Structure formats: structure tokens, C-alpha cells
Amino acid sequence: MNIKRIFGAILTVLGIGALLYAAIMFVNNTAGDANVKILITFGILGLIFFISGVSLVRTTKDEA
């Protein structure tokens, strides 16, 4: 059980969740009055979490 790989998977899932939330907020914007700061914040944080999680899972070697 590799802790780095588990942490990378958790970061990846959090990143996907934040990106989906930002996408849903963007799509549900009917009158153009969505809070842009929140939309940008969730989008950037989701992208950072997703990229760091994927790279952590990819670069961690399996030791059996």
C-alpha cells in the first residue's frame, strides 16, 4: 500500500470534482451574473489538484 499513490488518487478525484463544479456553475449561468471569482477559483484549484494528482500517481513506482 503506497501512501503517495493513494494521495495522488485523492488529489485527482478532488481535482475532477472541482472542475465539474466549475463547469456546472458556468453552464447554469443564465443571466450572466455568476460570481466570476468563485468560478475562476474552482477552475484553477481543480486544474492544479488534477495535474498534481495525475503526476504523483504516474511518477510513483510500485514496490512489491
Q: Please list the helix, strand and coil fractions of the chain in percent, rounded to the nearest 5, in that order.
A: 75, 0, 25
Structural domain includes residue 2: no
The phi and psi torsions of 36 (rounded to 5 degrees) equal: -70, -35
The structure's pTM equals 0.83
Please report the pLDDT score of residue 64 as a whole number: 62
Structural domain includes residue 44: yes
Share of the chain above pLDDT 70, in %: 89
Structural domain includes residue 41: yes
pLDDT in tens, 38-62: 888 999 999 999 999 999 988 888 7
Structural domain includes residue 1: no
Query: For residue 21, what are the domain limits?
Result: 8-59
Structural domain includes residue 64: no
**Is 90 exceeded by the pLDDT of residue 26?**
no
Average pLDDT over the chain reads: 87
